[in-house]
Amino acid sequence: MAVAVSSDLLPTRVDVDRQVQRSLAPGGLKYWLWVMLCAFVTALGGAFWTNQVYNSFDITGYGQPTMWAIYITNFVFWVGIAHSGTLISAILFLFRVRWRTGIFRLAETMTVFAVATAGLFPLIHLGRVWNFYWLIPYPNERSLQPDFRSPLVWDLFAISTYLTISVLFLFTGLIPDVANARDRAVGWRHTLYSILSFGWRGTDRQWRHFSMVYLLLAGFATPLVLSVHSVVSWDFATTQLPGWHSTIFAPYFVAGAIFSGCALVLTLAIPARRLMKLENLITIWHLENLAKIVLLTSVVMTYSYATESFTVWYTQDPIEMATFSQRYYGPEGYLFWIMLFCNCAVPLLLFAPRIRTNTLWLFIISIFVNIGMWLERFVIIAGSLATNADPSQWKFYGPHLTELLITVGSFGWFLMNFSLFAKFLPIVSMTEMKEGLSWLRHAASEVYPYRSAS
Amino acid sequence: MNVGRAQSLGAAAINSAVNQSPEPAWHRLTVIGVVLTALGVLGVILGLVSHEDERVWSAYLVGFLFFLGLAQGGVILSCSYYLVQGRWMRAATHMRVAEAGWPFLFLAVLLFAGVFVGRYHLFPWIAYPIAKNAAWLNVPFMFSRDIAVIAIMALLSGWYVRLSRRSDAVRWASEPTTIEMPPAGLRRLAPVACILYIYVYSLLAADLIMSLSPLWHSTLFGWWWFEMCFFSAICGSALVAAIFASILPNGNAFAHGSVRHDYGKLVFAFSIFWIYLSFAQYLVIWFGDLPSETFFLVIRFWHQPWEAFSWLGPILVWVLPFAVLMGVRPKKSKATLGVVSALVLIGIWLTDYDMVVPSLSSTKLPLGWVELLVTTGFAGLFLLCAVPGLASAARAATADSDFREGA
């Protein structure tokens, strides 16, 4: 179907290459100041972790009964963030979704660094971090094995598999683009890109193999989206703790993961497209469709909260009711209501097309969602432990400076790695953008009514 | 053969006879529907006369739940086609087929009266009220809220189907090469219908299935059940697609292999999602080992007479489609897709039966002429409701000019 196109909105194949290559130009002062700020925050978090290892958990707010709190919250948060990257890059690839092309590389990058960040927290949480290898089934003279019936052991295998597949998927997809960058680069960049492109020449045979491998990796990655966060949810649901023991946890956590992850993709993509001048590659069309996924998963989260609350009331179990009463109206009840506002009320704005296609609103809403989802994990984990089945043990958790700065440090670590990747490797896939230019043409045409939104 | 080429009259007549199979006789399906319904009514009467009241009403409830889920799931399936704006679907082969059963939703409002009539044989909390649940589980409140929500969903579905059959919606579904959004009315109504569906059908699962064992609960049960209803609609659509590919005149849209391939992928994927939700419930209940939760599964999966029967559901609903439909060729094969879809539908009915009847009869497995006749009656009613929609889908598929080539 012929469509009228606003030519100033429509990139050509040459434009795609040029704009993405331009984003790889050496960073200016502002960029390096930003990276150094992130590095400083990371170092601050690392310093406090070192202090914690040296001085033990006495310097934290941890204490019975809340022995899982902010570190496990961060772990679940970051693993959840990672899932939407795989959803966008692998699952939407298998579904042949057109709007995926502009943002999937950014989302995949987010996944890899989010999983890497998440993997730090079981170590931070261990205290005696040097004993971490006890989780691995290695041969030993006493024939000791980890408890394979424990979801905690499943976590080790699930997350290490997820990290492996995510890294493979990201770097496989990068090969043609890095080869493209190699052909224009000089100096050490040329050397780096030559190594990462694995001798790619763009022959028919290489493209055939590439397509097959990419399809297979997408197929491997797809079940991981469901399985990994389901396993994480079973860390909690397989216990008998009121507030944790609930059959809905697996799909509820997966939906929450996609919710928070897609929101963080928006948080990253909106400034990235502005700063790297990629507005006509990462268009409003891409962002609007991502916002619809955020809205859908918000609806699922609202349903999950409603179902949990209803079931507690339906059973009239006094212990469950006491736990949930504390969750809603206890000393930390305000966190629950903030969470509800951020996860259920704020995303309702996305029903309005004008909000869905306004980048400032999308950015603000994405921040609210990320806050809400972090609070959700905290309310479930620390809140339920604090009000367990025995009221004589109840004690609410309050984080100390150590936990707070390690948490902030993890954000610095993530943003530092993401920023470095975005400056040295192509954050938008040149290959797939050029393949999908006809759809970008439609997004820039009169067919798409919000094409001029910003 | 190129029909545009000049031919002798004789050759043209022969070709016409060879290449065009007759249109299905829709009136015969209507007659079959009437006969099946009559058998169902006979089954109910004979069952009540034979003092098999509990069997009659439990079979009635299972039939009601299964076909209500199939009809409503179909409408929601059509809504989801517009919501995801998938350009692989077409009005004739996807939307019309999914929506075909929508009149049954209005009939269900009337059929719910049967659940009310049989309530003393179904809901133990009527004869033995549970004080702590009395505010929720009492006859006036439960039946009035359930009939209200079924009626609301029926009205909403009727409104949606009317919008879906308008020319602008049909035109949108026939143009796969743009990113143009569906018509505004559908864009607004489809999300509302889907959101209401998940709440309403979770409520119905809690009231009409979970409350049969009022001391048991599972937070995932509503989600699991409405997903199974949605899955039954996918299988029903796939079965219709496989049958229509065989019986409609040559050149119909269903003859295109990509249609069956898409349905096959949906059946495959949603069977995996179903077993995922089933396992998520099972694992948490097994691990927690709380007697208030485990008894529900123990009756069904560890004690006779239900032990062997209960495994039929997972085998037919997951093992079969997962094993058979993994490759491309089985998905595209009319026979394979049709048979697998039919068996999955039977498996879903068996699963509904397994959720309802053991709660009422834990030591006996009542499965005989009463259940067969009552279910047949529901099938007949559903067929009567679906025939006009299926005929419309068949005519649209035959006239769909962009899908002429068979595969």
Average pLDDT over residues A225-249: 93
Which of B180, B198, B287 faces A238 most closely, judged by CB atoms?
B287
Q: Within a domain: residue A415?
A: no
Query: Can you give the residue range of the structural domain that contains A331?
Result: 7-24+62-398+426-443
What distance in Å separates the CA atoms of residue B276 and residue B280, rounded to the nearest whole number? 6
CB contact (8 A) between residue B283 and residue A240 = no
> What is the least distance, in Å, from the CA of A352 to any CA of chain B?
11
Of B268, B271, B234, B243, nearest to B77 by C-alpha is B234
- Summarised one tens digit per residue, pLDDT across range A376-386 is 999 999 999 99
> What is the least distance, in Å, from the CA of B125 to any CA of chain A?
14
Contacts of residue B181 in chain A, CB cutoff 8 Å?
449
CB contact (8 A) between residue B217 and residue A245 = no
What confidence category does residue B2 fall into, taking pLDDT thresholds of 50, 70 and 90?
Answer: very low
- Contact at 8 Å (CB) between A245 and A239? yes
Q: Within a domain: residue A448?
A: no
Q: Is the pLDDT of residue B365 over 90?
A: no
Interface confidence, given as ipTM, is: 0.91
- The residue type of B332 is K
What distance in Å separates the CA atoms of residue A113 and residue A272, rounded to the nearest whole number? 16
> What is the least distance, in Å, from the CA of B74 to any CA of chain A?
20
DSSP-derived 3-state class of residue A445: strand
Q: Within a domain: residue A418?
A: no
- Summarised one tens digit per residue, pLDDT across range B271-294 is 999 999 999 999 999 999 999 999
pLDDT at position B178 is: 66
Domain count across chain A: 1
pLDDT at position A439 is: 75
- Contact at 8 Å (CB) between A263 and A347? no
> What is the least distance, in Å, from the CA of B7 to any CA of chain A?
35
What distance in Å separates the CA atoms of residue A82 and residue A117, rounded to the nearest whole number? 10
- Chain B contact for A302, CB < 8 A? no
- Summarised one tens digit per residue, pLDDT across range A66-76 is 889 999 999 99
Q: Within a domain: residue A187?
A: yes
Q: What percent of chain A has pLDDT over 70?
A: 96
CB contact (8 A) between residue A238 and residue B218 = no
Q: Within a domain: residue A132?
A: yes
Q: Which residues of A108-138 are buried (b: 16+ CB within 10 A; e: fewer)?
A: bbbbbbbbbbbbbbbebbbeeeeeeeebeee
What distance in Å separates the CA atoms of residue B20 and residue B320, rounded to the nearest whole number? 34
Q: Which residue of B has its CA nearest to A97?
A: B86
- Summarised one tens digit per residue, pLDDT across range B294-315 is 999 999 999 888 998 999 999 9
CB contact (8 A) between residue B221 and residue A247 = yes
Q: Within a domain: residue A31?
A: no
> What is the least distance, in Å, from the CA of B163 to any CA of chain A?
20
Residue A415: C-alpha distances to residues A52, A282, A406, A410 (Å): 23, 20, 14, 9
pLDDT at position B104 is: 97
- Chain B contact for A246, CB < 8 A? yes
Average pLDDT, chain B: 90
Q: Give phi and psi for A300, each to the nearest 5.
A: -65, -40
What distance in Å separates the CA atoms of residue A356 and residue A352, rounded to the nearest whole number? 6
Contacts of B32 (CB under 8 A, 6+ apart): B380, B383
pLDDT at position B254 is: 87
CB contact (8 A) between residue A308 and residue B276 = no
Contacts of residue A306 in chain B, CB cutoff 8 Å?
199
Q: Is the pLDDT of residue B175 over 90?
A: no
Which of B86, B133, B180 faces A447 most closely, judged by CB atoms?
B180
Q: Within a domain: residue A316?
A: yes
Which residues of chain B are at the A interface, by a Cβ-Cβ cutoff of 8 Å?
Answer: 86, 88, 132-133, 136, 175, 177-181, 191, 195, 198-199, 202, 206, 217-223, 276-277, 280-281, 283-285, 287-288, 290
Look at the block and give the residue holding tokens 């409701």.
B385
Q: Compare A40 and B304 and report the one with higher pLDDT.
A: A40
pLDDT at position A451 is: 66
Q: What is the CATH number of the domain that holds A367?
A: 1.20.1630.10
Average pLDDT over residues B89-118: 93
Helices (H), B165-256: 167-173, 184-208, 221-247
Q: Is the pLDDT of residue B6 over 80?
A: no
Q: In chain A, positions 203-232, which contact chain B (CB-CB < 8 Å)?
A: 226, 230
Contacts of residue A225 in chain B, CB cutoff 8 Å?
none
> What is the least distance, in Å, from the CA of A186 to any CA of chain B?
40
Q: Retrieve residue A386's tokens.
A: 């604090």
What distance in Å separates the CA atoms of residue A162 and residue A29, rounded to the nearest whole number? 36
What confidence category does residue A261 fall into, taking pLDDT thresholds of 50, 70 and 90?
Answer: very high
- Summarised one tens digit per residue, pLDDT across range A429-443 is 999 888 888 777 777
Average pLDDT over residues A341-345: 97
- Chain B contact for A172, CB < 8 A? no
Which of B178, B223, B287 faces A251 most closely, judged by CB atoms?
B223
What confidence category does residue B91 fall into, taking pLDDT thresholds of 50, 70 and 90?
Answer: confident
